[in-house]
Amino acid sequence: MKKAEDFSEWYNEIVERASLTDKRYPVKGMNVWTPYGWKIMRAIDACIREELDATGHDEVCFPLLIPEDQFAKEKEHIKGFDEEVFWVTHAGLTPLDVKLLLRPTSETAMYPIFSLWVRSHADLPMKTYQIVNTFRYETKQTRAFIRVREIHFFESHTCHVDYEDAERQVRQDYEMLSRLARKWCLPYLLLKRTEWDKFPGAVYTVGIDTVLPHGKTLQLGSIHQYRDNFSKPYDIKYEGNDGEHRHVHQTTFGMSERLIGAIVAIHGDDKGLVLPPDVASIQVVVVPVLAKGATDTVSKSARELTSELESAGIRVHIDERDIRPGAKYYDWELKGVPLRLEIGMKDIEKGVVTLVRRHCTEKTLVDRKGIADAIRGVLEEIAADLLADASAAMNANTVTVDSLEDLPDKLIKTGWCGSEECGHRIEDLSERDMIGTPIADEGYKGMCVVCGKPTTTPVFIAKAM
C-alpha cells in the first residue's frame, strides 16, 4: 500500500507490519501494546517526565475509578462527558450504591483530594502530573493510537493563587511543548478553540493540532485555563497572607498516545516507519557485512563498535542474525531505525564505517576513530531534517482563502468576525469543523467570509481525523 495513494489504509497497514500494536484484542478500540510499540511510548513518556520534573511538577498517580457524585459536581464537565463514560455498576454480585466510572480524564478524581492538600498560599503553586490510561467510549471508527477507547494519557494539573499566575503556567506549558515537539520532530499549531468547542468546564481551551499528509488535522493535546470553575464546586481554597480564604485558579495540559500516531503518519513512508532519534528505542543498528574467510574479524569489529556506542549513551543494536544483509536492511527500515551502520572487511581496512540514514537512504562514510561523537552529530542532523521536512509539508498543506467554494483537502485559514452565528455558517458551508483562532496576533487583515465585516481574526477550519 502506497502512502500517497491511500493514506488511511497505509497507516493501518504500517502500524501492524512494524509491530507497533496488536489490534486482535477482543474489545474494540482497546489494543495491545507490543514490546516495540511500548518502548517507543516509554521513550515519549521519558521526554515528558524529564520536562515536567525540570519545571517543578511532581508526578502523582490517582485511582482509576471515580464515584458518580464526585463526577457530577461540575455541571458543564459532566454534560461534556456523559456519552463517553464507561460505568462500573456492580461489586461482585451486589449493585453499588454509588456507581463508579472509569476516568475519562482526572479532574474529578483529583480535585476532591486537592481540596485537602491545598491549605495556605505557601502550598501554591501546586504543580502535579500523571501518566495513566483513560477510557472513553468512542462511537466513531477506531484507529490505532489515534482513536481508541483505552488511551495512554499524560495530564498535568496545577493550582495557583490567582488568574495571572495560572496564565503564567499556560505560557510555561507552551514553552515545554515547543521543546518536546522539537524532540519528536512534530510541527503543530496552537489554536484557541471556539466557545462551543472548548473543554467542558474550561474558561478557554488551546488545542495542539497538526496536519496529516492527507490534509486532515489531528489534535495532539490541549492546554486549558479553568480559572476557579472547578475549585468552586470542589472547594479548593487557600488562606492568603491576609487571612482571607480564596479559591485557587487551575490549569491543565494533556497529550496522549496520539503522538505516536502523528509520528507514524507524518514521518513514515512506503518502506515503513521513520522514527525521530529521541523516540527510537533503537537509534542505531549495526549490521556486520560478513565475507568468506573474514567473518571473525568483521564480527569482532562490529561488536567493538556496538559497545563503544553503547558506552557513549547511544541506543544501539547489533543484528547478528544468520540471514542476508538485504533482509536485515528491509526489517530495520520497516521499523524506522533512524541510522544504520554497515561494517565489512573493506570498511575495516580503510578505517571507516558506512552510514545509511533512514529518512533519505543517503550513504556516507565516517571515520571509525571518534565515531561516537560523529554519530551523535548525525542523529541531531536527522532530527533537524525530519522537523524541517514535516514543517514544510504542513505549510504546503495549509491555504488561506476568501471564499468557501471548492475548498481543497487541506487546512483552511479564512476571515471570521467572531460571531457564533457566522461561525456555525462557516462550518455548514465548508462541511468542516472550526478548530480555532491563533493564540497570538498575526497581523491578519481580512473580511469575515460569511458577513463581510472587516476582521483581524483568522480562523482555521479543517476536517479532523
| Phi, psi angles (nearest 5°) of residue 243 | 85, -5
Span near Zn ion by CB under 5 A; candidates 121-129, 151-159, 204-212, 440-448: 440-448
Distance CA 323, CA 306 (A): 19
Nearer to Zn ion, 222 or 414 (CB): 414
Contacts of 412 (CB under 8 A, 6+ apart): 398, 399, 400, 401, 430, 432, 460, 461, 462
Nearer to Zn ion, 1 or 447 (CB): 447
Span near Zn ion by CB under 5 A; candidates 66-74, 255-263, 364-372, 443-451: 443-451
CB of 52 to Zn ion, least distance (A): 40
CB of 415 to Zn ion, least distance (A): 8
CB of 171 to Zn ion, least distance (A): 30
Residue 256: which H helix or E strand, with range? strand 249-256
CA 63 to chain CA mean position, Å: 23
Angle of the 371-396 helix axis to the 163-184 helix axis, nearest 10: 110
Contacts of 438 (CB under 8 A, 6+ apart): 189, 190, 191, 192, 458, 460
E-strand ranges in 9-149 read 21-22, 32-33, 58-59, 65-67, 87-91, 94-102, 126-135
Nearer to Zn ion, 361 or 419 (CB): 419
Could you tell me which residues are beta bridge partners of residue 218? 210
CB of 199 to Zn ion, least distance (A): 25
CB of 433 to Zn ion, least distance (A): 17
417 part of the interface to Zn ion, by CB under 5 A:
yes
Pick from 350, 381, 380: which is nearest to 368 by CA?
350
Span near Zn ion by CB under 5 A; candidates 18-26, 258-266, 377-385, 415-423: 415-423
DSSP calls for 351-384: TEEEEEETTT--EEEEESTTHHHHHHHHHHHHHH
448 part of the interface to Zn ion, by CB under 5 A:
yes
DSSP 6: -
For residue 71, the SS3 value is: helix
* Interface pattern 371-410 for Zn ion (x via CB under 5 A): ----------------------------------------
CB of 413 to Zn ion, least distance (A): 15
Residue from 450, 459, 461, 465 touching Zn ion (CB under 5 A): that is 450
Contacts of 202 (CB under 8 A, 6+ apart): 224, 225, 226, 229
Nearer to Zn ion, 176 or 449 (CB): 449
Span near Zn ion by CB under 5 A; candidates 5-13, 36-44, 122-130, 446-454: 446-454
Nearer to Zn ion, 263 or 417 (CB): 417
Nearer to Zn ion, 260 or 448 (CB): 448
Distance CA 442, CA 419 (A): 20
Residue from 1, 203, 352, 451 touching Zn ion (CB under 5 A): that is 451
Pick from 161, 150, 171, 139: which is nearest to 27 by CA?
150
Distance CA 438, CA 460 (A): 8
Interface with Zn ion (CB under 5 A), residue total: 5
CA 186 to chain CA mean position, Å: 9
157-181: b (≥16 Cβ within 10 Å) or e: bbbbbeeebbeebbebbeebbeebb
Nearer to Zn ion, 191 or 450 (CB): 450
CB of 198 to Zn ion, least distance (A): 20
| Contacts to Zn ion from residues 321-380, by CB under 5 A | none
461 part of the interface to Zn ion, by CB under 5 A:
no
CA 205 to chain CA mean position, Å: 17
CB of 427 to Zn ion, least distance (A): 13
Span near Zn ion by CB under 5 A; candidates 159-167, 187-195, 325-333, 411-419: 411-419
Span near Zn ion by CB under 5 A; candidates 72-80, 135-143, 306-314, 416-424: 416-424
Residue from 404, 422, 435, 465 touching Zn ion (CB under 5 A): that is 422
Nearer to Zn ion, 67 or 446 (CB): 446
* Interface pattern 227-266 for Zn ion (x via CB under 5 A): ----------------------------------------
Nearer to Zn ion, 356 or 417 (CB): 417
459 part of the interface to Zn ion, by CB under 5 A:
no
Starting at the edge strand found earlier in the chain, the sheet holding 189-192 runs 58-59, 126-135, 150-160, 249-256, 217-227, 204-211, 189-192, 433-438, 458-462, 411-415, 398-400
CB of 437 to Zn ion, least distance (A): 13
Q: Determine the Cα angle at 291 with ends 290 and 295, to 5°.
A: 60
Residues that bind Zn ion (CB under 5 A): 417, 422, 448, 450-451
